Amino acid sequence: KAGVTQTPRYLIKTRGQQVTLSCSPISGHRSVSWYQQTPGQGLQFLFEYFSETQRNKGNFPGRFSGRQFSNSRSEMNVSTLELGDSALYLCASSSGLERYEQYFGPGTRLTVT
């Protein structure tokens, strides 16, 4: 069974621009979560979607948004990029039955200049 895939793997954007990251969960998984990882703050939860509905949200500004499609694929959008948004963005999927057993993708490395 294929794992979680994320595209693109690397991205360089300029401050003020917006960016969209994509995540394809493991086949059959209905829950997709997004995390941001930085050296200073570690791994932080952004939000989680289940059956196209946002079920939970972390403490991030409204510039960070997401959505989930009917095929469970998910996208994350960051608008008005700031230098501090440079990070590894990780997507994780789970069946939704055992929420603590999540399967992470390789991440998208975003650099904001």
Residues that bind another protein (CB under 8 A): 4, 31, 33, 35, 42-45, 48, 50, 55-56, 58, 88, 90-92, 98-107, 109
Alpha-carbon distance of 49 to 85, in angstroms, equals 21
**In this complex, which beta carbon is closest to another protein, that of residue 47 or of residue 78?**
47
Give min distance, CB of 16 to another protein, in A: 27
Distance CA 2, CA 14 (A): 33
Distance separating alpha carbons of residues 9 and 95, to the nearest angstrom:
24
Is the CB of 16 or the CB of 106 nearer to another protein?
Answer: 106
Residue closer to another protein by CB (options 14, 39) is 39
CA angle, residues 79, 113, 91, in degrees to nearest 5 = 50
Shortest distance in whole angstroms from residue 83 CB to another protein: 21
Least separation in angstroms between CB 66 and another protein: 13
Backbone angles phi, psi at 14, to 5 degrees: -100, 150
Radius of gyration of the chain (CA): 13
Q: Which is nearer to another protein, 1 or 98 (CB)?
A: 98
